[in-house]
Structure 1
Amino acid sequence: MNKIFPLFLLITLFSGFNSDDNQFIARQGHISFFSYASMENIEAQNNQVLSILDLKNEKIAVSMLMRAFVFKKDLMYEHFNESYIESDIYPKATFEGDIINFEPSLDKQTKIIRGNLTIHGIAKEIDIKTTIEKVNGTYALSGEYNVFVKDFDIKIPPILSSNIAKMITIKFSFQYQSYDE
Structure 2
Amino acid sequence: MKYISLILFTLFGINKVDGNLFVCKNASVSLYSKAPIEDIEATTASGTSVYNASTGDVAFSVPIKSFRFEKSLMQEHFNDTYMESDKYPNATFRGKIASVPDLSKDGTYPVKATGDFTVHGVTQNRTIDGAFTVKGGTVSLSSEFMVKCADHKITIPRIVFHNIAESVRIRVTANYAANK
Q: Which moved more, 1:98-107 or 1:169-178?
A: 98-107
Structure 1 match to 2:110: 110
Counterpart among 40, 47, 54 of residue 42 in structure 1: 40
Find the aligned partners of 1:144 and 1:94 in 2 and give their Cα distance.
15
Question: How many Å apart are 1:9 and its aligned residue?
Answer: 4.7
DSSP 3-state at the match of 2:159? helix
Question: How many Å apart are 1:38 and its aligned residue?
Answer: 1.3
Structure 1 match to 2:92: 94
CA offsets 1:122-175 (integer angstroms, 9 cap, x no match): 001111111111223331000200010000001111111121100110001000
Structure 2 match to 1:32: 30
What residue identity is the alignment partner of 2:44? N
Identity of aligned residues (%): 33
C-alpha RMSD of the superposition: 1.7
Structure 1 match to 2:138: 138
Give structure 1 regions of 4+ aligned residues with deviation exceeding 4 angstroms. 5-9
Kept after mapping to 1: 8 A contact 2:5/2:23: no
Find the aligned partners of 1:160 and 1:91 in 2 and give their Cα distance.
24
TM-score for the superposition, normalised by structure 1: 0.91
Structure 2 match to 1:67: 65
What residue identity is the alignment partner of 1:47? A
What residue identity is the alignment partner of 2:19? D
TM-score for the superposition, normalised by structure 2: 0.91
Q: Which moved more, 1:107-116 or 1:163-172?
A: 107-116
What residue identity is the alignment partner of 1:155? T
CA offsets 1:61-91 (integer angstroms, 9 cap, x no match): 0011100001000000000000000011001
**Unpaired runs of at least 5, structure 2:** none
DSSP 3-state at the match of 2:169? strand
DSSP 3-state at the match of 1:50? strand
Find the aligned partners of 1:50 and 1:97 in 2 and give their Cα distance.
14
Question: How many Å apart are 1:25 and its aligned residue?
Answer: 0.4
Kept after mapping to 2: 8 A contact 1:144/1:169: yes
Structure 1 match to 2:170: 170
